[in-house]
Amino acid sequence: MKIKLRKPLISDAKSYYEILNHPEFYFFPAKPKSIREEKDFLRKAKKQMDEGTHYPFAITAHGKHIGGGGFIIDQTRPYVCQLGFFVARNYWGKGVATQVVKMLEEYIRENLDIVRITICMAKENLASQRVAIKAGYKKEGLMKKYVKIGERYHDAYLYAKIIK
């Protein structure tokens, strides 16, 4: 499947809202309460990208918006970033997330002076663990109560890759 990354658009808000609020979408901490709230988030994300702290991307397949991916630069260690991703339910298990991780890595290598990339996921999120492993990341440890999903804190695995 041919996927592309592009800057997110305010017009993507409805699609993001639907993807993130799917009833089987358990492990991603963002659950916008409305399309308006998602639009506000996208406006803020654009500002953060302009500032060089956050790099959000929309994922598309065959011209259709199917998810999001991106990374955040660690503000105390600007040579480290944390990468994240999510795809619509009907695209799970098709290799999309692994492709996205590799595409984001390529963007990072070509455009930034990053040495270390991390990916964190709730301990129960087996699919994201598989993505990290397939993309060549190594598990470095377990972080207690690191991810908040809804009102509950989850332990999270830390995966990392040195790219320079």
- Give the confidence band of 25 by pLDDT, cuts at 50, 70, 90: confident
The arithmetic mean of pLDDT across residues 54-69, rounded, is 96
Calpha distance 55→12 (Å, rounded): 16
pTM of the model: 0.93
What percent of the chain clears pLDDT 70, i.e. is strictly above it? 100
What SS3 class is residue 132?
A: helix
pLDDT digits 0-9 by tens, 109-161: 999 999 999 999 999 999 999 999 999 999 999 999 999 988 899 999 999 99
If 0-12 CB within 10 Å is exposed, 13-18 middle and 19+ buried, where does residue 11 land?
exposed
Task: Quote the number of domains for the chain.
Answer: 1
Higher confidence at residue 66 or residue 164? 66
The domain of 127 spans: 3-162
Report the CATH number that the domain containing residue 20 is assigned in CATH: 3.40.630.30
- Rounded Cα gap, residues 73 and 81, in angstroms: 4
Q: What is the mean predicted confidence (pLDDT) over 68-95?
A: 96
